[in-house]
Amino acid sequence: MAHYCSLNGNIVAQEQASLGVMDLAVLRGYGIFDYFLFKYGRPLLEEQYLERFYNSAQKMGLEPPLSRQELSRHLRELIAANGEDKGAIRLVLTGGYTPDGYTPGDPNLIVLQHGYPNYPESYFTEGIGLISHPFQREWPEVKSINYLTGIKLLPEIRRAGALEVLYHYNGELREAVRSNVFLVTEKEELVTPDRDILFGITRDSIFKAAEGLLPVIARKVSMEEVYNAREVFVTGSNKSVMPVVHIDGRPIGDGKVGYWSKKLKDGLEAYREGYYGAP
């Protein structure tokens, strides 16, 4: 765990950082966040992540105490203070101290540094499972801190030997709790939903990594298509490309990690390395 975090622009030892009990994030779960990797001290695709973070804040009526430029500078200070070559950053903007238990106050900005994601290698070489659940996130394009449904379903996920929940609504695929979903059809097209989801930055990077390899189509996707896909994979900042080999206990394709899941994971990682540049 990193030693330092930051609260409203002040770098402090994480063990000593604290937030008051009247923050609306504590009382009503009101707040937003974002999460991204860094390497060689450089935040990955910083522009895109900060854009999403400030957009989420604006949509929730929250004004961060630091401007984008100040936050960008500040991130580098925190990364330098912790002295790690690579890791992950979590930005959290809360509803702030509320005067009456309901109305937002001045938001608190927390910046946490986490270790670089470290999933077991088998998740990538053997794939993962999902369970499906009918649900539509309330404000899909906002990265709110509300993960109530996914967290409530953790015992069921564990019982099914799955890693996450796949959300669908009126028979249409949406996303997974903390990742976007792609499928490879029998026609060798890469397909992903185009609405009512969080527009993942990794999803966007996959569009770029797939250029010239296979057609990518963002459109309405039925759950029928998901179960009958040749390959399914999920994408996220901390997951890269993770192949899905079963959903609700039903095998996807031949039940093994597919060609495109591997190929696009390599493509995504090459794209990311290209962004970081040389050490």
The 189-228 contact track toward ligand PLP, x by CB under 6 A, reads ---------x-xxxx-------------------------
No. of helices (H) and no. of strands (E), the chain: 9, 15
SS3 156: helix
Residues 252 and 231 sit within 8 Å (Cβ to Cβ): yes
Our CB check for ligand PLP shows the closer of 4 and 38 to be 38
- Interior angle at CA 249, CA 246 and CA 252, nearest 5: 30
CA–CA distance, 229 with 103 (Å, rounded to integer):
46
CA 9 to chain centre: 24
Residues 234-273, interacting with ligand PLP (CB under 6 A): 235-237
Beta bridge partners of 13: 4
Query: In the bound complex, what is the minimum distance in angstroms from residue 255's beta carbon to ligand PLP?
Result: 25
Residues 165-184, interacting with ligand PLP (CB under 6 A): 175, 178-180
Our CB check for ligand PLP shows the closer of 98 and 180 to be 180
Residues 156 and 140 sit within 8 Å (Cβ to Cβ): no
Residues 33 and 91 sit within 8 Å (Cβ to Cβ): yes
Query: In the bound complex, what is the minimum distance in angstroms from residue 250's beta carbon to ligand PLP?
Result: 23
Q: Does residue 108 bind ligand PLP (CB under 6 A)? A: no
Our CB check for ligand PLP shows the closer of 51 and 189 to be 51
The 132-171 contact track toward ligand PLP, x by CB under 6 A, reads ----------------------------------------
Closest residue to ligand PLP in the complex (CB): 200
5 to 8, 13, 19, 146, 205: CA distances (angstroms): 10, 6, 13, 22, 28
> Rounded to the nearest 10 degrees, how much is the dihedral formed by the CA atoms of 108, 111, 112, 113?
180
Residues recorded for the chain: 279
Helix, strand, coil % (nearest 5) of the chain?
A: 30, 30, 40
Query: In the bound complex, what is the minimum distance in angstroms from residue 71's beta carbon to ligand PLP?
Result: 17
Query: In the bound complex, what is the minimum distance in angstroms from residue 12's beta carbon to ligand PLP?
Result: 25
Q: Total residues contacting ligand PLP (rule CB under 6 A)?
A: 12
Our CB check for ligand PLP shows the closer of 108 and 235 to be 235
Query: In the bound complex, what is the minimum distance in angstroms from residue 180's beta carbon to ligand PLP?
Result: 5
| H or E element in which residue 122 lies | helix 122-125
Residues 2 and 63 sit within 8 Å (Cβ to Cβ): no
Our CB check for ligand PLP shows the closer of 174 and 246 to be 174
Query: In the bound complex, what is the minimum distance in angstroms from residue 181's beta carbon to ligand PLP?
Result: 9
Our CB check for ligand PLP shows the closer of 33 and 227 to be 33
Our CB check for ligand PLP shows the closer of 7 and 197 to be 197
Query: In the bound complex, what is the minimum distance in angstroms from residue 205's beta carbon to ligand PLP?
Result: 8
Our CB check for ligand PLP shows the closer of 23 and 175 to be 175
Beta bridge partners of 172: 169, 222
- Interior angle at CA 167, CA 219 and CA 58, nearest 5: 75
Residues of the shown chain interacting with ligand PLP in the complex, contacts defined by CB under 6 A: 175, 178-180, 198, 200-203, 235-237
